[in-house]
Structure 1
Amino acid sequence: MIRIVPVTDRRSREWFIDVPFRLYRNDPLWVPPLRSDMRKLISPKHNPFFAEADIQNFVALDADMTPVGRISAIIHHEYNRRFGEDRAFFGFYETSPDPAVSAALFQTVESWSQARGKRTLIGPYSYTSTQDAALLLENLDSQPPCLLQTYNPEYYRQHLESAGFNLAFTFSTYGVDSVKTPRTDKLQNQAAMLRQRHNIQVRNASKAELKQNLDELRRLFNDCFADNLEVAPISRESFRFQLDSVRPFIDLAGIRVIEVDNQPAAFFLILPDLNELLTRLGGKLGLLDLIRLPRYRKQIRKCVIALIGARPMLHGQGVGRIIADEIIRYAYGRYEEVHTMWIDDRNPSSYVLAANGGMQRTKRYGVFQKSLGAGSAAAKEAQA
């Protein structure tokens, strides 16, 4: 017997957090998050996104009251204002191999969504498309995920399709060794010519103005993705919250803004691959770990392009080559590998940028959706 309970108190919150630790305890590819970070992430008191969305977390319990699955139901109001009021998300989806667990989780989220008049369920987005997103379809490099990349067993896709979900779109992550090659030399020469031809300047963030620099990145991100069909604008509060857990690891040289005729036109933010650190910690940050943190940080081999974008009117004008050149310049001598977060497979300018940097696809992901039909009047009355 599978029982689905809403997360409403400390006990159910710990059940929710504990699910992946139980499911993946023998999986060498899974990277455990810090439990303390997860408590903040799912807390309405700490996470400002709860003020921007309707969110309900659920846990699946077996007959012995052992947590065997979890899921979140989300209605992101800004996303719906932009793309239509009929959508709900699901996220933080984890389940045992038993298909009955998955079926019960999805039935619960579908009922919750229909009761609020939603007709389409999309995911996984945890909680939104600018955070952990999508289902791993192919682990092409057979490596653990880097920072901002998700991980799951292969059977998750079968469970989704059995529940009536269809693959809506795919995206990929890319990686490359941080070494000098004839390709990078050619790219550097091309970028130098483009800088002169189009009056392009590149600047880093500064310690004195880091707060303003980060807010500038947020505004640039919202502008650059204004026409994207899956990304809603990030509020100042949510953006700040998302960066809080990585703020001690932000390198000012890894924040770069590209200006054309003295106007901000493109940007990127590169972070160390903190998943290498999280693998060491096993979900907890102890006193000895805090002492050893500077040493751990120096041992991180990879970096991840956490944010990147260019204003749409600049696509096709060579700005991508300058971005790729700046990324290579930054990573060389600092890290052994450079990786990306997700790149939409429908966006040719993005994967051309990856190709310009000599990157190879490392993982392929998918977002799924299901039509629910109109929420019933009885369900709406029950909610009221």
Structure 2
Amino acid sequence: MGAVRLRTLTPRDPVWRLKPFVDVAWSINARDPAWVPPLRRSLYALLRHTHPFHRHAEVVYFLAERDGEAVGRVAALINHRHNEFHGERIGFFGFFESVPDPAVAGALLDAAAAWARERGATALRGPMNFSTNEECGLLVEGFARPPMLLMPHNPPYYARLLEDQGFAKCKDLVAYLLERGEVPAALERGAELALRRHRVRLRTLDLRRFREEVRRIQEVYNAAWQRNWGFVPLTNEEIEHLAKELRPIADPELCLFVERDDETIGFALALPNLNEALAHLRDGRLLPLGLPKLLWYRRRIRGMRLITLGFKPGFQHQGLGPLVYLQIYRTGVAKGYTHAEASWVLEDNWEMHRAIERIGGRVDKVYRIYERPL
């Protein structure tokens, strides 16, 4: 068996040079029935320098090769907005893939660590693809069920590879499964009481005023999560890019705004689980055959993912969370959805855990953020 060699790539490299970096995910995961291939076009859009994230970050990619074959990959990055916002000097890694060989994983992670250390980082944290606003975390519990939309998946042995390289748990992220069933009558009454007591109203997304609605989401999101672990405010360019990506699959009835006295004080967003359709595009390509498959299977989606729920400071901790969860749950049931995932939730966000558990949620998956001092 030959030595492991690393090839360095950058976000400014053309697609043809980045292709082996993308392809290695297929060579490692293709036989895993729970793995959902990403859309290649979306992945290239994220990796290349034209994505808004790269305007406030330094990023490099390492591709591991042995005997002429790609056997692993990792991205190393400095997210300047994160470090400025949190007053830290953290380097991050993401897009980690490796065959079950400590030599490969070690070469990749050591390269990422050395690169981050040269730029003043005191620790290496991840996986982040590229931040908490995108896919993040390493799956450590719940491997049988395929991931929901915009959630990661990996082989079980990845945790051991990281831990053997000196990485330890930094934070766990929890995914809850909710299956269709009866809502407790007491919860129904409590939700109606909260609606009247706080003088709030719920309304759905208005696609005719989409840009205005996106700005409202950005305003609430950046205010509501500002004290959360790992949070980085979304820039105007990032929210516009994200909205452009999600609009084709968004269901206006599953995006709720919470308003009081004409002020948007909170919002919640759930999306149809497009992964149920993407799972049938094994090569990750829309053309020539992928798009017809995607459109066909999209009509048969039965799951949804509740991605985010938050309220502006001053309106938090007032019992409004269960009210919004309940309304989305009712809407989902009426539209024929049979199950939902609420993800992700920080392991120590006890208020959110209680809100989800009150409507029947149970822990289904756990994702872990790791860290290693430099």
Which of the numbers 101, 114, 117 marks the counterpart of 2:117?
A: 114
SS at match of 1:4: strand
**For the structure 1 residues 265 and 104, does the alpha-carbon distance in structure 2 shift closer, same or farther, using more than 3 Å as the test?**
same
Which residue does 2:104 correspond to in 1?
101
Q: Work out which of the residue numbers 163, 166, 191 in structure 1 matches 2:165.
A: 163
- Sequence identity percentage: 30
Shift of 1:6: 1.2
**Cα shift at 1:303:** 0.5
Is 1:368–2:370 an aligned residue pair? yes
Give structure 1 regions of 4+ aligned residues with deviation exceeding 6 angstroms: none
Please give the alpha-carbon distance, in whole angstroms, between the structure 1 residues aligned to 2:368 and 2:84.
24
The aligned length equals 367
Deviations 1:58-117 (A, max 9, x none): 111112x21110101111111100112411110011111011000000110111011111
Q: Partner residue of 1:173?
A: 175
How far residue 294 of structure 1 moved from its aligned partner, in angstroms, is 3.9
The match for 1:222 is 222
CA contact (8 A) 1:148 1:341 kept: no
Counterpart residue identity of residue 57, structure 1? Y
Match of 2:70 in 1: 67
1:57 aligns with: 61
Provide the aligned C-alpha RMSD in A. 1.6
5+ unaligned residues in a row in structure 2: which ranges? none
Contact 2:281 2:294 in 1 (8 A): no
Q: Which residue of 1 aligns with 2:152?
A: 150
Matching residue of 2:357: 355
For 1:302-317, list aligned pairs within 5 A: 302-317=303-318
Quote the Cα distance in structure 1 between the aligned partners of 2:16 and 2:290: 27
How far did 1:356 drift? 2.1
> Given the two structures, how large is their TM-score scaled by the length of structure 1?
0.92
Q: Residues 274 and 300 of structure 1 are in contact (CA less than 8 Å); yes or no, is this contact kept in structure 2?
A: yes
Q: Per-residue deviation at 1:292? A: 5.1
Matched, 1:17 2:22: yes
2:296 is aligned to: 295
**CA offsets, 1:304-340, max 9 Å, x none?**
1122212343333211121122121221122111112
CA contact (8 A) 1:201 1:262 kept: no
Q: Match of 1:266?
A: 266
Partner of 1:36: 41
User: CA offsets, 1:269-310, max 9 Å, x none?
Assistant: 111101111101111113444345443221001011122212
Distance 2:289 2:113 in 1: 45
Amino acid at match of 2:25: P
Give the distance between the partners of 1:198 and 1:362, measured in 2 at CA.
32
Please state whether the residue corresponding to 1:218 is helix, strand or coil.
helix
What are the superposed Cα offsets for residues 225-244 of structure 1, whole Å, 9 maximum, x if unpaired?
01112111011211222333
Q: 1:120 to 1:252 in 2, by over 3 A?
A: same
Please name the residue that 2:52 is paired with.
48
Aligned-partner Cα distance in 2 for 1:16–1:127 = 15
Deviation at 1:21? 0.2
2: CA distance, partners of 1:18 / 1:25: 10
Separation in structure 2 between the aligned mates of residue 166 and residue 117 of structure 1, nearest angstrom:
21
Shift of the 90–221 alpha-carbon distance from structure 1 to 2, 3 Å rule, reads same
CA distance in 2, matches of 1:307, 1:210: 18
Alignment partner, residue 379 of structure 1: none
Q: How does 1:197-346 map to 2 (within 5 A)?
A: 197-282=197-282, 283-291=284-292, 293-334=294-335, 335-346=337-348
SS in 1 for 2:285: coil
Residues 198 and 261 of structure 1 are in contact (CA less than 8 Å); yes or no, is this contact kept in structure 2?
no
Number of the residue aligned with 2:131: 128
Measured in 2, the distance between the counterparts of 1:205 and 1:348 equals 28
Query: Which residue of structure 2 aligns with residue 381 of structure 1?
Result: none
Give ranges in structure 1 of 5+ residues lacking alignment.
373-384
Do the aligned partners of residues 322 and 284 (structure 1) sit closer, same or farther apart at CA in structure 2, a change above 3 Å counting?
same
Which of 85, 90, 94 is the equivalent residue of 2:93? 90
User: Residues of 2 paired with 1:103 and 1:290: CA distance?
Assistant: 38
Q: Distance in 1 between matches of 2:267 and 2:298?
A: 24
Deviations 1:96-144 (A, max 9, x none): 101100000011011101111111111111111111101111117x211
CA offsets per residue over residues 334-370 of structure 1, 9 Å max, x none? 2111112210011111111211221111101111111
